[in-house]
Amino acid sequence: MALARQGAAVILNGRTEAHLDAAKRAFSDLGLSAHTLRFDTADREATANAIKAIQDQYGDIDILINNVGYRDRRSVQEFAVGDMDRMLANNLSAPFELSRLLAPGMMEKGWGRIINVSSVVATFASDGDAAYVAAKGGLESLTRAMAVEYGKHGVTVNAISPGFFLTEPNRDMASNEALNQWLQGRTILGRWAEPEELAGIAVFLASNESGYVTGQTIQVDGGLSARL
């Protein structure tokens, strides 16, 4: 939404038409417009076909935001064969593949922005969440590696690392009084963040003003990572 307000033509991706329709209505309610395209980013063939359809209809993409966040909160010993593959397919392989498919158009223009959405748990691991921690840690390493590879072509690659945000999957956690007390003491700002508080950093990293910023993971965590 923040990018749309700045004049970007936005294409939203999701796995279900219902979620995409709801997102499009939310844009419309604010006087904004967005295109939608349903496909599963963990499906390589579907992804390749979708990217071709986007390029055929809209041309090359200038800004890619990899915001996939599949999560499976279980201990290592509770994971069965193949469970880790699904975690990596969604959280690491999908951003890799989308970047691989879209970067050539950016490089040809000599300008592009790739923004990966990581998580504070990539730095501060939590119990019973090893697979997600590992996947997001890999995404931050991929961010640095792609920044090195694409920088000479005018394409920057950065990551945003959110802390505790009141997104839809986290709403139930926000009612946990013990967690709220911990959060108040652990973060400098002492509260949960609203999703809108990611807007500024996303717009900055997508803009010309961030042209000398690449290979970075920027923490948006209320000061959690700055405090012992």
Whether 132 sits among the annotated catalytic residues: the reply is: yes
Q: Are 150 and 157 in contact (CB under 8 A)?
A: yes
Q: Distance between CA 115 and CA 147 in Å, rounded? A: 11
Q: How many CA atoms lie within 13 A of 80 on its CB side?
A: 0
C-alpha angle 136-159-14 in degrees, rounded to nearest 5? 70
User: Residues 6 or more apart from 75 whose CB is under 8 A from it?
Assistant: 127, 128, 130
Q: Are 206 and 115 in contact (CB under 8 A)?
A: yes
Q: Which of 70, 132, 150, 212 is catalytic?
A: 132
Count of H-run helices and E-run strands, the chain: 8, 6
Nearest to 15 by CA among 92, 93, 68: 68
Q: Cα-Cα-Cα-Cα dihedral of 149, 154, 159, 160, to 10°?
A: 180
Catalytic site positions? 132
